Amino acid sequence: MIQRVRIFYGMCFTLLVLSGCAAPKATQSSAQVEPVSIFVEDDIAYLSGLLTSHLPQQLKQALSSHPNVTDLVLVDVPGSSDQLATMEAARMIRHLGLNTHIAQTGYVLSGGVDLFLGGVERTIGAGAGVGVHSWRDTQNWGDEINLADPVHASYVNFYLEMGVPERFYWFTLDAAPAERIYFLSPEEIYDYRLVTDP
Instruction: Report if residue 25 sits inside a domain.
Output: no
Secondary structure tally for the chain: helices H, strands E: 7, 7
Range of the domain at 132: 32-191
CATH number of the domain enclosing 176: 3.90.226.10
Rg, Å, the chain Cα set = 16
Alpha carbon distance 38, 63 (integer Å): 10
Instruction: Report if residue 1 sits inside a domain.
Output: no
Instruction: Report if residue 197 sits inside a domain.
Output: no
Asked if residue 19 lies in contact with residue 181, where contact means CB atoms within 8 angstroms, the answer is no
Instruction: Report if residue 18 sits inside a domain.
Output: no
3-state secondary structure of 71: strand
Instruction: Report if residue 108 sits inside a domain.
Output: yes
Q: What's this model's pTM, rounded to 2 decimal places?
A: 0.80
Instruction: Report if residue 196 sits inside a domain.
Output: no
Q: What local confidence, expressed as pLDDT, does residue 168 receive?
A: 94
Which DSSP string corresponds to 16-54? HHHHHHHS-GGG--TTTSPBPEEEEETTEEEEESBB-TT
Instruction: Report if residue 120 sits inside a domain.
Output: yes
Q: What local confidence, expressed as pLDDT, does residue 164 receive?
A: 97
Q: What is the mean pLDDT of each run of 10 residues along the chain (198 residues)?
A: 37 38 37 83 97 97 97 96 95 98 96 97 96 70 58 87 94 83 95 88
Reference 62, options 24, 32, 93, 33; nearest CA is 93
Q: Burial level of 2, CB count in 10 A (0-12/13-18/19+)?
A: exposed
Instruction: Report if residue 21 sits inside a domain.
Output: no
What total of structural domains would you count in the chain? 1
Q: Burial level of 95, CB count in 10 A (0-12/13-18/19+)?
A: exposed
Phi, psi dihedral angles at 10 (to 5 degrees): -65, -40
Q: What local confidence, expressed as pLDDT, does residue 32 receive?
A: 67
Asked if residue 50 lies in contact with residue 80, where contact means CB atoms within 8 angstroms, the answer is yes
